[in-house]
Structure 1
């Protein structure tokens, strides 16, 4: 009987973690002051901190860059605020690295589809397997937006400005890796980020 109750408790906790409320403690991984928890690339010309915001700016050659956390994560939820700058913004959040079994949560325009795919998952081997819903009504093009992305095992869930917009399950997903923020190559653009936090589940 004890084992059954334990199993039910674990199941209820797992289901609850896919609701809006996150009970796990949050850790700030960008507080507007420094990038000490991140692997800053050599000869960095892409990432800077201005007035408490993390700026991603394309370089003259449009090489692009990915800013990675030093820490690797398994099950977690990451939340950040973002604001579009100039150019065609094509960025996103890498959930557990960037191999072929990885999900990136898009922010901005898809380079392949030539339209906004914010909050949709991109998988290198699949493209965009599903599309987030209700984005045109929720996305603020000239103001700050809040995106929250959760992964538990091979499942993914995304909120945009407090509303659930995407659920997805990727078979054989990569289950451990760092969190990354992308500045897409081949683009002239700027985008800002702030209030980046993670809760491990």
Structure 2
């Protein structure tokens, strides 16, 4: 599995602010979106382009365009929605596919409760969006759902990932690509990423932390 840590001064700076518990939801969303855009920039370096001719002030000129129909953005509900605007700022024409997952309290495994995918998934590259990769269970399930829909190429972006989650993801889906701002130290006994960000969903949306 190709794993890229986007090691850039701006990413490190913004991630440091996200880790600060005094960062309020407004600034947390802003910073998360900015990092998402930087990660998406790296993840889309190899997007195919097509030549088109435009009319410039000096006459016709052949330029390159990225075709939005080659892509779909896939946030995992709910935290992925807070990560989405930063990616959409770069790829405004890409349709958004939505995947909702929740944990089955009996099996402790993620189960899908909602999905709405773009058409022609078999022709698209999917950019999976979720702030955190902890155990990897949700990402593994979401990627399998995309593969079952015929999606031939999948890339995932996360703010932070735990080594345990990356290993599980590679074991399940070695053919995908992962782009992260940081690989953190470990999971604790409650499967929280350390040092992590806390509950990214609660911090993004301003809901009480359990």
TM-score (norm 2): 0.29
Query: What is the TM-score normalised by the length of structure 1?
Result: 0.30
Normalized per residue, which structure has more strand? 1
